[in-house]
Amino acid sequence: AGSFTMNESYVKLLSPRQLIGNETLFSLSKYMWTQYTMRKADVVYLVTARDMIDVLPRGISTGVLGMAYRGKACSRYQVAAGEDKPGVLSGINTAAHEIGHLLGSDHDGYGTSRSCSDKDGYLMSPRAGGKNNFLFSNCSKNEIDSFMGSFDAYCLEFDWSIHIAFFPNATAKLPGTLINGTQYCALYFPGKRNVTYIKWDSDLSKCKFRCQIGWKQNGDPNYAIRTALDGTPCNRSNRSMVCRNTVCG
């Protein structure tokens, strides 16, 4: 189920392009309780193209991709929010990470998940882009399993069908069949001039896109490496091989 609205009364902004994550999350939880469709949902997830920030007593933190209440699915605080750059599906892992929090998982290396190192790069690591970022660690699996077996997860036992969001037929295809590296780099860095996609076979075999976003002060090219989309061809001699969850096969 899903919905779209231009009414953003629950969104709290520091500037037109900066969304205050902690304040928006609290406001969204109150707004959700006034909306029948949202109340019947298991979780409510806000997707934003704005830059999420966290306002703290010591200042503003800009290193925020998403935010959620831990273990609060099926409750008045069943809300989460995350960044997503339009057109490049950059927010998929962020959404999975934040929903993992709603389902009871802590960050790897912290709290009840401290026995799993955040350096292993699983989905619930506090640092994005790890080598295992499409997988839950054993700690996360155990915590989610514990939550799912508790009364707090009662709503997940029911099958509500209230509102269905319809998307263009193109979404049935893997995104890598619709967006190539050149388009991806341009969409990912819209504010950069002369963004160039650098196609290296060694990158594609690892399911990576290499975007050149200018030059360093020493004259070397400035590269940004991003994860290639699922469906991206990754073997020049075998066109049937495509990326899936960062693996070429």
CA-CA distance, 213 to 224, in Å (whole number)?
A: 7
Which one from 8, 98, 143, 157 is the annotated catalytic residue? Answer: 98
Any binding-site annotation on 163? no
CA-CA distance, 193 to 186, in Å (whole number)?
A: 9
CA-CA distance, 132 to 123, in Å (whole number)?
A: 7
Active site residue 83: no
Q: What is the DSSP letter of 157?
A: G
Q: How many other C-beta atoms can be found within 10 angstroms of the C-beta atom of residue 190? A: 10
Tokens of 247: 């693996």
Bridge partners (DSSP) of residue 215 are 221
Q: What is the DSSP letter of 100?
A: H
CA-CA distance, 61 to 64, in Å (whole number)?
A: 7
Q: Which residues are annotated as a binding site for Zn(2+)?
A: 97, 101, 107
Catalytic residues: 98
